[in-house]
Amino acid sequence: MNQSQWQLLDAMGVSSWQRKAAGELLCPASIQTNTPRSSDLMIAVIAPKDDWVSGQLLFKSIANAIDLPLTNFRYFHAIEDLLQHTCNEFDVIWLVGNKATSNLPSSCKIVESESFSVMQQNRQAKGALWNQIKEFRRDA
């Protein structure tokens, strides 16, 4: 693992990881968490459409890192779109580039992050998201 990869993991607050293949990785690494994979965990992702489209590679990498299949995520353009559906089916609401409002159900854990475009360029923004995910996993 080269120095920049070590620095990236350190900036994100990742203290343990597992390589999927020997040698330099050409794909995202799997980050082991304490909570087992659960097909019941549902995450609503709320992100502006243009950011969602441009951030697909990063989103898939994050989903892979937390060891959840893409089928456990539902995408919404805006908070209002989520409120038109049954919010109670989601365990986590991930606000990408948005701030929480009082309209969100209290039964859900709220995770806030910078936009995908910001996270693609900013290690600290990705680290802040990862810290929230770690905290959520600890509480689960």
Judge whether residue 75 has pLDDT over 70.
Answer: yes
In a domain, 18, yes or no: no
What is the domain extent for residue 97? 40-139
Higher pLDDT pick, 57 / 84: 57
Is-contact 92 76, C-beta < 8 A? no
In a domain, 82, yes or no: yes
Q: In what order do the strands lie in the sheet with 43-46?
A: 73-76, 43-46, 92-96, 109-113
In a domain, 17, yes or no: no
Is-contact 116 101, C-beta < 8 A? no
The token pair that represents 31 in the structure block: 């980050």
User: What would the pLDDT profile of 78-103 be if each residue is shown by its tens digit?
Assistant: 888 887 766 678 888 899 997 777 67
In a domain, 52, yes or no: yes
Domain count, the chain: 1
Is-contact 47 96, C-beta < 8 A? yes
Q: Compute the mean pLDDT over every residue in the chain, rounded to the nearest whole number.
A: 78
Angle between helices 3-11 and 123-139 (to 10 degrees): 50
In a domain, 78, yes or no: yes
CA distance 78 to 130: 22
99-114 b/e (C-beta count within 10 Å ≥ 16 → b): eeeeebeeebebbebb
pTM above 0.95, yes or no: no
Higher pLDDT pick, 104 / 113: 113
